[in-house]
Amino acid sequence: MNNTIHQPEWLDNAVFYEIYPQSFNDTNADGIGDINGITEKLDYIQELGCTAIWLNPCFKSPFGDAGYDVEDYYTVAPRYGTNEDLVRLFNKAHKRGMHVILDLVPGHTAVTHEWFKQSMKAQRNEFTDRYVWTDSIWEEPQGMGCIRGISDRDGSCAVNFFSHQPALNYGFYKPERPWQQPMDAPGPVATREALKDIMRFWLSAGCDGFRVDMAGSLVKHDEDSKGTIALWQNIRAFLDEEFPDAAMISEWGEPDKSIIGGFHMDFLLHFGPSHYNDLFRCAEPYFSKRGKGSAKEFVEAYKKNYDKTNGKGLICIPSGNHDMDRLARTLDLDELRVAFAFLLSMPGAPFIYYGDEIGMRYVEGLTSVEGGYGRTGSRSPMQWNKGLNAGFSSAPKSKLYIQQDESPDRPDAESQTADETSLRSEVKRLIALRMSNPALQSKGKIEFISDGYPLVYKRSCESQSIAVVINPSAQSAIVPGISGRVIYTVGGASAEGGAVTVQGCSAAFIEL
Ligand code: NOJ
């Protein structure tokens, strides 16, 4: 397999905006966001400077895991609207030169999916091998958890995440028990082909690619991921043939593996060995004035992955997502500005989680909604303005999908759009800076110069080199050995006599 896969050109300067559909914008007053609500806000997203959208699952579901338990991959959940609404969103986005990727959940379905209903039957049928089943109710699939005692079929079905999410069967890399099927057995092959059909359906309808849920765990007993990589290479061949411009990003967290598998991009995740959370979400995050440490561990881990993937695919750093704490839970406003200076000047496509651009807060003390648990506080409805329900919905407050931040000073998009000094305006300027300087875009190279306070790195492409100096600490600092023109600063900074002076909690961009 050729390692350098075709990259859709639009990824070169893409900035993604992640939308959690239930919490974005409600146009039919049922308290839950909808697809038309997203279409209505394309102006807002584009004005911020984002060029693409990642939409969390919006398909029919019993919503035991907020839609990551899919009941029907081919139908938009009625609470969000119709397939036609989604196609309209694709078309409207394309007219603006924007792109929309959907969330593909290949590892499991809901128990209410027709495939699973069929698979639970005692009589053999087309879906008998669609999921990972043991062949006796008394045998559990080791280390995987299981659903059992609810089917006529004699067997236990492995689960992939929550215990109501049966694991789809892509086979075992090293089958050891009779019920563990090899990857090339008819059941696993049929599952893989069914996945391609789903992708084909939405790509033909106008979607621009997929964020793939738990992409690294599809083949079981696959210690080095060789089986899962081979599976994705097979899907890559299908995409190359039929949809070469579909963008693929994995929730995997091991970019060296996912990119060999044929993904264009992989996320740095809040779990795993990336040290991403040390930067933003811990007692003394690097990006805070109280941070004491250095970014060394993060930089080391990043460099390792970067060296393995440079020129082949992109590593993407999100501001947050629907699974992690809001950035504003640990960082104050000044710190958020500096964190965004970093997030928007790293290689790979940046991902902004809806509301992070205005510093939306984590809503404390909420009861879990739809399997959110501790994640629920990061999923509260978008705050658009100072009106009823912060402009999210005209439903009675008690009907809102999740309770909103009730603080009187909660941030909102309208006020911040009008205020040049707001976080949103800062984010907008930083995106514009990225757009007008190719060295700062996805493929611009990075070289780290220092990983303490300040963090210093050089971004470069053929036509340009930019030094980025990020100083989250409360103390000012002088960085020698940099001479050039200051093209942007967050907080105060200046370059003189071959040295850059950055104030406490600031960032500087110097064209060399
Ligand atoms: C990762 C998703 O981001 C998360 O929200 C979900 O609960 C699990 N995968 C299971 O699909």
Q: What pLDDT is attached to residue 187? A: 98
Distance 97 CA to ligand 1 centre (A): 29
Residue closest by Cα to atom 1 of ligand 1: 213
Q: How far is CA 111 from the centre of its chain?
A: 25
Distance 382 CA to ligand 1 centre (A): 20
Contacts for 209 with CB less than 8 Å, ≥ 6 apart: 8, 99, 101, 102, 203, 246, 247, 248, 249
Distance 451 CA to ligand 1 centre (A): 32
Q: Quick one: which of 331, 336, 324 has its CA closest to 416? A: 336
Going from the C-alpha of 356 to that of each of 45, 188, 210, 396, 467, the distances in angstroms are 13, 40, 22, 25, 26
Distance 68 CA to ligand 1 centre (A): 6
Residue closest by Cα to atom 2 of ligand 1: 213
Q: What angle do CA 368, 370, 373 make, to 5 degrees?
A: 30
Q: What pLDDT is attached to residue 2? A: 47
What residues pair up with 102 in beta bridges, in sequence order? 55, 210
User: At which residue do the structure tokens 């089958």 appear?
Assistant: 175
**Domain regions of the chain by residue span:** 9-106+188-436, 108-169, 445-511
> Which of 68, 113, 353, 370 is the pocket-test mutation for ligand 1 (most atoms within 8 Å of CB)?
68
Assign domain 9-106+188-436 to a CATH class. alpha beta
Q: How far is CA 77 from the centre of its chain?
A: 21
Query: Burial of 472 by CB count in 10 Å (0-12 exposed, 13-18 middle, 19+ buried)?
Result: buried
Contact between residue 101 and residue 203 where contact means Cβ atoms under 8 Å apart: no
Q: Which atom of ligand 1 is nearest to the CA of 160?
A: 10
Distance 4 CA to ligand 1 centre (A): 29
Per-residue pLDDT of the chain (512 residues; tens, 9 = 90+): 445 789 999 999 999 999 999 999 999 999 999 999 999 999 999 999 999 999 999 999 999 999 999 999 999 999 999 999 999 999 999 999 999 999 999 999 999 999 999 999 999 999 999 999 999 999 999 989 999 999 999 999 999 999 999 999 999 999 999 999 999 999 999 999 999 999 999 999 999 999 999 999 999 999 999 999 999 999 999 999 999 999 999 999 999 999 999 999 999 887 778 899 999 999 999 999 988 779 999 999 999 999 999 999 999 999 999 999 999 999 999 999 999 999 999 999 999 999 999 999 999 999 999 999 999 999 999 999 999 999 999 999 999 999 999 999 999 999 999 999 999 999 999 999 999 999 999 999 999 999 999 999 999 999 999 999 999 999 999 999 999 999 999 998 999 999 999 999 999 999 99
Residue closest by Cα to atom 4 of ligand 1: 323
Query: What per-residue string of b and e applies to 187-202 under the rule 16 or more CB within 10 Å gives b?
Result: bbbebbeebeebbeeb
Cis peptide before 78 (omega within 30 of 0): no
User: Any idea what DSSP says for residue 166?
Assistant: B
Strand order through the sheet with 477-480: 477-480, 499-502, 493-496
Contact between residue 38 and residue 55 where contact means Cβ atoms under 8 Å apart: yes
Distance 400 CA to ligand 1 centre (A): 22
Residue closest by Cα to atom 3 of ligand 1: 323
Residue closest by Cα to atom 5 of ligand 1: 323
Residue spans of beta strands (DSSP E) within 77-160: 99-104, 146-147, 157-158
Contact between residue 495 and residue 486 where contact means Cβ atoms under 8 Å apart: yes
CB atoms within 10 A of CB 283: 9
Topology classification of domain 445-511: Immunoglobulin-like (2.60.40)
**Torsion angles phi and psi, residue 201, rounded to 5:** -60, -50
Query: Burial of 435 by CB count in 10 Å (0-12 exposed, 13-18 middle, 19+ buried)?
Result: middle
Query: What per-residue string of b and e applies to 139-178 under the rule 16 or more CB within 10 Å gives b?
Result: bebeebbbbbeebebebbbbbbbeebbbbbbbbbbeeeee
Q: Which atom of ligand 1 is nearest to the CA of 65?
A: 7
Q: Which atom of ligand 1 is nearest to the CA of 322?
A: 5
> Which of 102, 111, 213, 217 is the pocket-test mutation for ligand 1 (most atoms within 8 Å of CB)?
213
Contact between residue 473 and residue 302 where contact means Cβ atoms under 8 Å apart: no
Pocket of ligand 1 (CB under 6 A): 65, 68, 105, 161, 213-214, 251, 322-323
CB atoms within 10 A of CB 104: 23
Distance 292 CA to ligand 1 centre (A): 32
Do domains 9-106+188-436 and 445-511 share one topology? The answer is: no
> Which of 54, 65, 249 is the pocket-test mutation for ligand 1 (most atoms within 8 Å of CB)?
65
Q: Which atom of ligand 1 is nearest to the CA of 161?
A: 10
Q: Quick one: which of 489, 488, 490, 454 has its CA closest to 472? A: 454
Distance 66 CA to ligand 1 centre (A): 9
Distance 213 CA to ligand 1 centre (A): 7
CATH superfamily of 108-169: Oligo-1,6-glucosidase; Domain 2 (3.90.400.10)
Q: What pLDDT is attached to residue 272? A: 77
Distance 57 CA to ligand 1 centre (A): 10
